[in-house]
Amino acid sequence: MSAAATGDLSVRPISERQHLDLVGSRSSASFLQTPAWGRVKTEWRAESLGWFAGAELVGAGLVLHRQLPRIRRTLAYLPEGPLIDWDSDDLGRWLSPMTAYLRAQGAFGIRMGPPVVTRRWLPATIKRGLADPELTRLGEVPADVTEPLGRQVVDQLHTAGWRQQVARDGGFTAGQPQYVFQVPLRQPDGQQRSEDELLAGMNQQWRRNIKKAAKAGVAVRTGGRGDLEAFHSLYAETAARDGFTPRPLSYFGTMWDALGAESPDRIALYLAEHDGDLVAATVLVRVGEHAWYSYGASTTAKRDVRGSNAAQWQMLRDARAGGAAVYDLRGITDTLVEADPHVGLLTFKVGTGGEAVEYAGEWDLPLSRPLYAAFDLYMRRR
């Protein structure tokens, strides 16, 4: 078994069991850093790496290797990871042995997404930004909270030669979103927020739509693997309406099997029905105290019964009842321009009463500059 060491830490491959035990020792970790996610991304070669202080496992990361066409070299990608001590004055102690190991394995570059928050914006602040014609980006709006750890990580990565990936044309980056929208399910003192408090935090439109769905008789139930086909039919309809390319049904089957085998509460399917008709469907993923709204779909017909709001509300309630600390509605872009089609996603999610959260983003470290430059050009032309 090959390994790389720098100072007092070493990095080497670990088993899925070791990896999952490390994930389970944390209050939360991204589902993109679980061993199961490596089985979902079948077009990549997955590898679990462990950080060791002597014999003790102190960190872990899921690495997805993507090979360049006709060249036996790979991009090593750690989405929303790795799971290491980011609150360190010397990140090189953690990242150098990883870099040495991946270089020895033939990586021409490394991409990672530190799970570290840099800034947060509350709904009232976002609304003021949307109303100000002089502001075009969320990043231009003074944040309600600036996290010192986020700035510390960003500064260290810049100094070490890592390159931050930037969204092009105001959209999402090629990898995972830097900006997300989250609803805190706990008070600052750690107490769980009540359902009434969650509802009170929503805007009037969201509360009205939840009540309208209930009055119309929309019923939300959790489904099983056998309901994926119905979900996918609705998802394909949503893709055609909203202009994006849908994933195939087989992808969701693989995702269901891989995540569900890892933990019984890792993935759930919610189906909102009205008079026997499926009107909305959503996928929830959970790791520890973090729950994610992962995929959503709705029918064009019967939109007035507000099945999507009913499904979201049920997922929020279940996440809270299960002890989650965060309900994550995943990505938003940072645009505030009214004419930009992405702004609707932000305004929809603001209604939940949560907060916009900026992460440190995704960062690249070129190990072979010619091959990395060729890869970067290829990605720009896609």
pLDDT tens digit string along 199-242? 999 999 999 999 999 999 999 999 999 999 999 999 999 999 98
Question: Can you give the CATH number for the domain in which 61 is found?
Answer: 3.40.630.30
Report yes or no on 38 lying in a domain: yes
pLDDT band at 180 (very low <50, low <70, confident <90, very high): very high
pLDDT > 90? residue 373: no
Domain boundaries, position 27: 4-113+362-381
Report yes or no on 236 lying in a domain: no
Alpha carbons 226 and 208: distance in angstroms, whole number: 32
pLDDT > 80? residue 184: yes
Higher pLDDT, 252 or 382: 252
Model confidence pLDDT, tens digit, residues 321-348:
999 999 999 999 899 998 888 898 899 9
Alpha carbons 284 and 19: distance in angstroms, whole number: 22
pLDDT band at 71 (very low <50, low <70, confident <90, very high): confident
Query: Could you give phi then psi for residue 350, rounded to 5 degrees?
Result: -60, -30
pLDDT of residue 172: 43
pLDDT of residue 277: 97
Report yes or no on 247 lying in a domain: no
| Number of structural domains the chain divides into | 1
Alpha carbons 116 and 45: distance in angstroms, whole number: 26
- Number of other residues whose CB lies within 10 A of the CB of residue 100: 16
Taking alpha carbons only, the member of 251, 254, 249 closest to residue 229 is 249
Alpha carbons 120 and 144: distance in angstroms, whole number: 6
Q: Which residue has the tokens 């890792």?
A: 266
- Per-residue HEC secondary structure of the chain comes to CCCEEECCEEEEECCHHHHHHHHHCCCCCCHHHCHHHHHHCCCCEEEEEEEEECCEEEEEEEEEEEECCCCCCEEEEECCCCECCCCCCCCHHHHHHHHHHHHHCCEEEEEECCCCEEEEECHHHHHHHHHCCCCCEHHHCCCCEECHHHHHHHHHHHHCCCEECCCCCCCCCCCCCCEEEEEECECCCCCECCHHHHHHHCCHHHHHHHHHHHHHCCEEEEECHHHHHHHHHHHHHHHHHHCCCCCCHHHHHHHHHHHHHHCCCCEEEEEEEECCEEEEEEEEEEECCEEEEEEEEECCCCHHHCHHHHHHHHHHHHHHHCCCCEEEEEEECCECCCCCCCHHHHHHHHCCCCEEEEECCCEEEECCHHHHHHHHHHHHHC
Residue 151 neighbours by CB under 8 Å, 6+ apart: 118
Report yes or no on 376 lying in a domain: yes
Query: Could you give phi then psi for residue 211, rounded to 5 degrees?
Result: -65, -40
Model confidence pLDDT, tens digit, residues 116-134:
999 999 999 999 999 999 9
Alpha carbons 261 and 240: distance in angstroms, whole number: 31
pLDDT > 70? residue 6: no
158 vs 34, 76, 299, 370, CA distance in Å? 27, 19, 45, 21
Alpha carbons 285 and 296: distance in angstroms, whole number: 12
pTM for the full model?
0.93
Model confidence pLDDT, tens digit, residues 254-268:
999 999 999 999 999
What is the share, in percent, of the chain residues with pLDDT greater than 90?
A: 87
pLDDT of residue 1: 60
Alpha carbons 167 and 332: distance in angstroms, whole number: 12
pLDDT of residue 304: 95
Report yes or no on 150 lying in a domain: no
Query: What integer best gives the mean pLDDT of the chain?
Result: 94
pLDDT > 70? residue 167: no
Structure token digits, residue 269: 């399917």
Report yes or no on 59 lying in a domain: yes
pLDDT band at 378 (very low <50, low <70, confident <90, very high): confident
pLDDT > 90? residue 307: yes
Report yes or no on 170 lying in a domain: no
Higher pLDDT, 249 or 382: 249
pLDDT of residue 170: 47
Amino acid 228 reads L
Report yes or no on 45 lying in a domain: yes
pLDDT of residue 168: 57
- Number of other residues whose CB lies within 10 A of the CB of residue 373: 13
